[in-house]
Amino acid sequence: MPSISSGDLSSPLDGGVDFGSVKTVPESHAWQEPEGFSLESSDLDGIPVIDLSTPWWGVAREIGRACASWGAFQVVNHGVPDNVLKRVEEQGWRLFSLPPDQKLKAERGPDEIAGFGAPRITHFFPKRMWTEGFTVFGSPLEQARRLWPHDHMQFCEVIEEYQSEMKSLTVKLLELILEWVGAGKEDLNWEVGDSSGVTQLNSYPSCPEPSRAMGLAPHTDSSLLTVIHQSNTSGLQLLDASGQKWVTVPPVHGALVVNIGDLLHILSNGRCRSSMHRAVVNRVHHRLSFAYFCFPSPGATVEPLIGPDEPTALYRSVTWTEYLRIKGTLFNNALFSLLLPDSGFSTRLQQPFSLLPSQSRPSVMQESH
């Protein structure tokens, strides 16, 4: 009999399901397959893989094209040492293999960013996701001390080294994207070097019935951009530019995935697409992913970059904490709510956010609570 505990919904293990021991997907985690959630995916037209060691001007154009179409790409020769990625993965396995009650000691509070628990977007969906996560915001020390009272220094050192490597990569990527939109870092309301970062460790245990579960439901990231290191199991899927097909992002050794987030969609005045993506699970492998979210410096407003060839701002400016609050209530309608009236886009369908409602709104999944 699967060890489903009393169904304490407050438990970050998603209603007390101990992923490791269930033989079937409980009703609480069973996702139907309405339109847009279908699990089939195609690997035909893969996501662009960009070599960051090629000359500056060439790579800016390639990245720009990927941002305008997919809203995502993979990068190789990114400069993040393999050893750092290996050690952060080791710490990830160490964390998620802790006993449930130990992980709960670092549980993320309702209004907190940092800590252990279910994804923040869980409450937008009628069913729970086949995942648990650990979010680091600033120093990991406070939460790490709760997980390992006497042995948390190694985790902290590895995470801090990972964050510093990711920060320098995201600064480089931002500068390239600014070059592509014809702007420079002096056009930003913050010093790129002062950008904030949030690190999300995601765990997707193997699942007895993968077609009836969802690892991480379709969403766009709220960040400027997100860099993802995936362990050697595929699961991340992006919605293609037509909004009709989910395309798997294959883990490429030495490559990191870059997703454009909502704030860069606003900063680029809609020229960069914020990629709709999800994570599916599989029967055999437990998958981990490590996502680094790049945000502006605290308090800095993200304002659409306009100029001679981009005269009209489509979105009002917003700080990342304001945007998180708006996303936390409006979810996939957050960007739409920031459209300026004279942007000329009166309906959600028209906005330069190539996202078909059927693919995006949890209302497709929304049952009456």
Applying CB under 6 A, which residues contact ligand J5X?
A: 113, 119-121, 135, 198, 200, 219, 221-223, 293, 324, 327
Residues numbered 83-142 forming contacts with ligand AKG, rule: CB under 6 A = none
Dist. CA 129–CA 121, nearest whole Å? 10
Q: 4 or 121, CB closer to ligand AKG?
A: 121
- Which does residue 230 touch among ligand J5X, Fe ion, ligand AKG, none (CB within 5 to 8 A, set by kind)? ligand AKG
One of 14, 221, 240, 262 touching Fe ion (CB under 5 A): 221
Q: 183 or 216, CB closer to ligand AKG?
A: 216
Nearest CA-CA partner of 360 in 125, 44, 28 = 125
Give min distance, CB of 213 to ligand AKG, in A.
14
Give min distance, CB of 327 to ligand J5X, in A.
5
The pattern of x and - marking residues 268 through 287 that bind ligand AKG according to CB under 6 A reads: ---------x-x--------
The pattern of x and - marking residues 206 through 235 that bind ligand AKG according to CB under 6 A reads: ----------x----x------x-x----x
- Positions annotated as catalytic residues are 287
HSE (side-chain half, CA atoms, 13 Å) at 296: 25
HSE (side-chain half, CA atoms, 13 Å) at 159: 27
Structural contact between residues 26 and 229, judged by C-beta atoms closer than 8 angstroms: no
**CA 100, chain centre distance (Å):** 24
Asked whether position 236 contacts ligand AKG by CB under 6 A, the answer is yes
> How many residues make contact with ligand AKG (CB under 6 A)?
12
One of 291, 294, 305, 338 touching ligand AKG (CB under 6 A): 291
Nearest CA-CA partner of 41 in 221, 215, 239, 241 = 239
Q: 59 or 279, CB closer to ligand J5X?
A: 279
The pattern of x and - marking residues 158 through 197 that bind ligand AKG according to CB under 6 A reads: ----------------------------------------
Q: 67 or 236, CB closer to ligand AKG?
A: 236
- Which does residue 343 touch among Fe ion, ligand J5X, ligand AKG, none (CB within 5 to 8 A, set by kind)? none
Give min distance, CB of 120 to ligand J5X, in A.
4
Chain residues binding Fe ion by CB under 5 A are 221
Chain residues binding ligand AKG by CB under 6 A are 200, 202, 216, 221, 228, 230, 235-236, 277, 279, 289, 291
